[in-house]
Amino acid sequence: MSKTHVTTTINGEPAEFLAEAGLSLLDALRDEVGLTGTKEGCGSGDCGACSVIVDDRLVCACLVLAVEAEGATIQTIEGVATGDTLHPLQRKFIEHAALQCGFCTPGFLVAAKSLLEKNNNPTETEVRFWLAGNLCRCTGYDKIVRAVMDAAAEMRGA
């Protein structure tokens, strides 16, 4: 089967890869582009571990075909920090111990970043509903929600 040449922008940089028709964006990011921060949990859109932002829209990379990403602007966990400077969400996740095994963390961070870009002052309920598609089996979610609320407050300058 012939592969399609896909041209995208990933974390602000031009990125190209070859994709077979059935390849998921998740597998393309991990195996073709080498960005392994985006994790595969369920592979069926239930767990949110592969959350990425495609053209300003939060999606599961496992539910997007790589060939659909032609011309798209993609943000992954690798683009959340600025060089060695952590994003406030990343610092707050560490401060609040909002992770244990860490497998779900990239997805939570990307999803939370997407929320705060749309709503810089979410209520706890809004945070919980927004993140309902991100599953964590370690933390019980409270620390994650607190970290997101705290990061939002800091980013607002509160």
The DSSP secondary-structure symbol of 85 reads B
Binding region for another protein (CB under 8 A) out of 61-69, 79-87, 141-149, 150-158: 61-69
Whole-Å CA distances, 27 to 19, 73, 144: 9, 17, 27
9 binds another protein (CB under 8 A): no
Q: Are strands 4-10 and 73-75 parallel, antiparallel or unpaired?
A: parallel
CA 34, CA 44: separation in Å to the nearest integer? 21
Provide the minimum distance between the beta carbon of 157 and another protein in the complex, in angstroms, as a whole number: 26
Rounded to whole angstroms, the Cα distance separating 125 from 131 reads 10
> By CB under 8 A, is residue 4 in contact with another protein?
yes
Paired tokens of 98: 């909002």
The residue within the footprint of another protein, chosen from 10, 28, 35, 59 (CB under 8 A), is 59
Identity of the residue, 65 or 138, whose beta carbon is nearer to another protein in the bound complex? 65
Burial of 110 (0-12, 13-18, 19+ CB in 10 A): buried
Out of 74, 77, 131, 149, point to the residue binding another protein (CB under 8 A). 131
Q: Residue 24, interface with another protein (CB under 8 A)?
A: yes
Kindly determine how many residues on this chain lie close enough to bind another protein according to the rule CB under 8 A: 33
Q: Where along the sequence are the contacts to another protein (CB under 8 A)?
A: 1, 4, 20-22, 24, 43-46, 48, 51, 54, 57-60, 62-65, 67-68, 70, 111, 114-115, 129-134
